[in-house]
Chain A
Amino acid sequence: MPVNAMARLFGRSPFVPLQLHLDKVGDCVEAVFALLERIREGDVSNVDETAREISKLEHKADLVKNDIRNSLPRGLFLAIDRSQLLEILGLQDSIADKAEDIGILMSLRTAKMLESLVEHFGEYIKGNKDALKKGRDVMRELDALIESGFGGVEATRVVQMVDAVAVSEHNCDIMQRKLMKQVLDHEEELSVGNFFVWQRLLHEIAGISNYSEKLANRIRMLLTLK
Chain B
Amino acid sequence: MEYQTTLIVLALVFGFYMAWNIGANDVANAMGTSVGSGALTFKRAVILAAIMEFAGAFLVGSHVSDTVRKGIVDPELFAGDPQAFVLGMLSALLAAGLWLQFASYFGWPVSTTHSIIGAIIGFGIVYGGMSAVHWDQVGTIAVSWIISPLMSGIISFIVFQIVLHRVFYRADPVEAVRKFTPYMVFVVLMIMTLVMVFKGLKNLHLDLSLSSALLVSSGVGLIGALLSYVLLRNYKSDDKEEEQQQARELYVARALQRSTKHLLRAQRAADSDTRDTIDSILELTQATTDTSSKRANLGSSRPEFRRTERIFIYLQILTACFIAFAHGANDVANAIGPLSAAVQTAQDGLVAAKATVPLWALLLGGTGIVIGLATYGWKVMETIGKKITELTPSRGFCAQFGAATTIVIASKMALPISTTHTLVGAVLGVGLARGIGAINLATVRDIIISWVITIPAGAFLAIVIYLTLGLFF
Q: Which residues of A contact B (CB under 8 A)?
A: 1-15, 73, 75-80, 140, 143-144, 146-154
Contact = CB atoms under 8 A, between A and B. Distances in A.
A150 B108 CA distance: 34
B441 A144 contact: no
A181 B129 CA distance: 93
A4 B380 contact: yes
Contacts of A140: 301
A112 to B, nearest CB: 46
Interface string B96-116: 000000001111110000000
10 contacts: A3-B387, A6-B32, A6-B388, A12-B390, A15-B437, A76-B440, A140-B301, A147-B302, A148-B168, A148-B173
Contacts of A5: 29, 107-109, 420, 424, 443, 446-447
B169 A148 contact: yes
Name which of A1, A10, A13, A79 has the most chain B CB atoms within 10 A of its CB.
Answer: A10
Contacts of A12: 390, 438
Interface string B155-169: 000001000100011
A7 B104 CA distance: 13
A209 B246 CA distance: 37
Interface string B64-89: 00000000000000000000000000
B171 interface: yes
A6 B391 CA distance: 12
Given A78-B438, A151-B169, A143 B446 contact: no
Given A147-B168, A147-B302, A76 B443 contact: no
A144 B12 CA distance: 53
Contacts of A151: 164, 168-169
Lowest 9 CB-CB distances: which A-B pairs, in order?
A5-B109, A13-B437, A152-B169, A2-B107, A7-B387, A11-B438, A11-B440, A149-B164, A75-B441
B392 A9 contact: no
A75 B108 CA distance: 18
A77 B438 contact: yes
B438 A14 contact: yes
Interface string B418-436: 0010011001100101111
Contact of A149 (B169, B387, B439, B441): B169
Contact of B170 (A73, A143, A152): A152
Nearest to A74: B441
A173 B160 CA distance: 43
A149 B437 contact: no
A151 B431 CA distance: 16
B439 A11 contact: yes
Nearest to B440: A11
Contacts of B231: none
Contacts of B164: 148-149, 151-152
A2 B169 contact: no
Nearest to B170: A152
Contacts of A10: 36, 387-391, 427, 436, 438-440
Contacts of A78: 437-439
Nearest to A3: B107
Nearest to A14: B438
B200 to A, nearest CB: 28
Contacts of B29: 4-6
Contacts of A80: 434
B390 A149 contact: no
B107 A144 contact: no
A122 to B, nearest CB: 34
Contacts of B434: 79-80, 146, 149-150
B300 A4 contact: no
A143 to B, nearest CB: 5
Nearest to B434: A79
A103 to B, nearest CB: 33
A4 B383 contact: yes
B445 interface: yes
Nearest to B109: A5
B431 A149 contact: no
Contacts of B442: 8, 73, 75
Given A11-B390, A149-B168, A151-B168, 4 more contacts: A1-B383, A6-B423, A148-B173, A152-B164
Contacts of A153: 169-171, 173
Given A8-B442, A9-B424, A14-B438, A148 B384 contact: no
B305 A77 contact: no
Contacts of A7: 32, 383-384, 386-388
B299 interface: yes
B177 interface: no
A9 to B, nearest CB: 4
Contacts of B420: 5-6
Contacts of B302: 144, 147, 154
A77 B431 contact: yes
A150 B169 CA distance: 9
Contacts of B36: 10
Nearest to A143: B301
A82 to B, nearest CB: 10
Name which of B170, B423, B441 has the most chain A CB atoms within 10 A of its CB.
Answer: B441
A79 B435 contact: yes
Nearest to B428: A77
